[in-house]
């Protein structure tokens, strides 16, 4: 079985997480900056400018001038959570690429994983902590 030429490219891989979203980010040095998320272009997958800027923040804070081809595979969570997970993955990949960027990226808070997740529902309750209405008689 033959391998395609794309698999031979050198890339930096990192995993970013937020809440229940997990993003696997691959960065390859390229001549032109491009961004693909789950096989779609960045503008199609994240339609709002706010979410697009969230992804680019890690590059902006680190003042990276090199061009990268970024590919992300995201699973779980909502759209906002997914954007933050990708940013976390990009920040980790940038640190792997150049260790001197660690201080800038860490000060911006991009290396911190947001662990807040929805609490599970308990037996006998309506939600995680909400109990059914209680009546005395």
State how many domains the chain has. Answer: 1
Residue 127 confidence (pLDDT)? 95
List the domain range (segments joined by +) for residue 42: 10-107
* SS3 category, 3: coil
Asked if residue 69 belongs to a domain, the reply is yes
Residue 15 confidence (pLDDT)? 95
Asked if residue 93 belongs to a domain, the reply is yes
pLDDT band for position 8 (cuts 50, 70, 90)? low
Q: What is the DSSP letter of 114?
A: B
Distance from C-alpha of 75 to C-alpha of 122, rounded to nearest angstrom: 25
Lowest-pLDDT choice from 8-17, 42-51, 61-70, 90-99: 61-70
Asked if residue 119 belongs to a domain, the reply is no
Asked if residue 125 belongs to a domain, the reply is no
Distance from C-alpha of 34 to C-alpha of 24, rounded to nearest angstrom: 16
Residue 24 has pLDDT above 50, yes or no: yes
Residue 105 has pLDDT above 50, yes or no: yes
pLDDT band for position 6 (cuts 50, 70, 90)? low
pLDDT tens, residue by residue, 28-75: 988 888 899 999 999 999 999 999 999 888 888 888 867 889 999 999
Asked if residue 95 belongs to a domain, the reply is yes
Residue 5 confidence (pLDDT)? 52
Residue 3 has pLDDT above 50, yes or no: no
Cα torsion through 92, 40, 84, 87, rounded to 10: 30
Asked if residue 115 belongs to a domain, the reply is no
Question: Strands 34-37 and 40-41: what pairing?
Answer: antiparallel
Asked if residue 94 belongs to a domain, the reply is yes
Asked if residue 38 belongs to a domain, the reply is yes
CATH code where residue 63 lies: 3.30.230.10
pTM of the predicted structure, to 2 decimals? 0.84
């Amino acid at each position: 079985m033959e391998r395609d030429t794309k698999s031979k490219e050198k890339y930096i891989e990192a995993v970013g997480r937020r809440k229940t979203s997990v993003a696997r980010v691959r960065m390859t040095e390229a001549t032109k900056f491009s961004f693909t998320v789950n096989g779609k272009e960045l503008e199609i997958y994240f339609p709002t400018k706010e979410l697009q800027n969230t992804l680019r923040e890690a590059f902006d804070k680190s003042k990276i001038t090199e061009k990268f081809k970024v590919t992300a595979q995201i699973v779980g969570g909502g759209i906002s959570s997914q954007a933050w997970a990708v940013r976390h993955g990009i920040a980790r990949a940038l640190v792997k690429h150049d260790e001197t960027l660690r201080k800038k990226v860490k000060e911006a808070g991009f290396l911190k994983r947001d662990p807040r997740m929805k609490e599970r529902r308990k037996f006998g309750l309506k939600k995680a902590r909400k109990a059914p209405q209680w009546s005395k008689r």
